Amino acid sequence: MSLATYHHHGAHILYDRAHLDQPEGPFLPPPGSAWLDPDAWAERGLVVGSAPGRGASQFLAIDGQQWVLRPYRRGGMAARVSQDRYLWLGLERTRAFQEMRLTHHLFEHGLPVPPPVAAIVVHDGPAYRAALITERLMNTEALAERLGTASSELLREVGTTIRRFHDAGLDHVDLNARNLLVSADHKVWLIDFDRCRLRPPGAWRQRNLARLKRSLVRFSPANAESLFTAIVDGYRNVPADHDKV
């Protein structure tokens, strides 16, 4: 997987060549600001669903593939000022380009992340809007939906997976039970790397785990302690070959 860039009239796209550099490529909207417009994708019959939550991610069917288009949206008090505009500090400092490059790095190192497709940034004066496209992880569901039936083996696998990312230096600032996905065969994936970064070992690891525990309390208050204990057991007792694909 190699990355390339496209620039045109304030629109900037950082993309994976394997997905988009094809002689007879998929019928996409014109590269540029249209990529941030769900209607531009829908007009071509490419939208096949959407995900709940802030920003309403769109599920796209592209040339036999399933993609997720996730716009960047503000929450909390900041959304009162602007829901989708961010201060322009340079292209490589945009949230979309940073997340695309980080996801690409993790993917290239064999970690279970959704393959990145493209980051789209539209720059207008002092602000920009952006979105990220990744491959959709089919036949998966959030760990939050599995907590009621999760086996100890699955929970330990969750812990082992988190440890793999930590050993790779990833500080996931929003580690919670909705950003961990589980497939039918109990493979665990981690998603949503907005504002995350690579760091040397430190106290951030415990902060990540504490955040995960708070989400377990939110989604399964009666069983949160036992769920977290099983996850930590997998985190602390990783197999010798846990870093292998």
Residues whose CB is less than 8 angstroms from the CB of residue 113 and which lie 6 or more positions away in sequence, other chains included: 103, 106, 107, 189, 190, 191, 193
pLDDT digit string (tens) for 29-87?
Answer: 888 889 998 889 999 999 999 886 655 799 999 888 999 999 999 865 554 556 789 99
pLDDT at 82: 64
Task: Using the predicted structure, report yes or no on whether residue 123 has a pLDDT greater than 50.
Answer: yes
Alpha-carbon span 111 to 165, nearest angstrom: 7
Task: Using the predicted structure, report yes or no on whether residue 152 has a pLDDT greater than 50.
Answer: yes
17 and 4 Cβ atoms separated by less than 8 Å: yes
% of the chain residues with pLDDT over 70: 90
Specify the pTM.
0.92
pLDDT digit string (tens) for 25-43?
Answer: 567 888 888 999 888 999 9
Q: Could you confirm whether 171 is annotated as catalytic?
A: no
65 and 43 Cβ atoms separated by less than 8 Å: no
Catalytic member of 37, 84, 167, 174: 174
Task: Report the half-sphere exposure of 40 (CA within 13 A, side-chain side).
Answer: 12
Q: What is the CATH number of domain 140-236?
A: 1.10.510.10
Q: Which residue has the tokens 């694909």?
A: 245
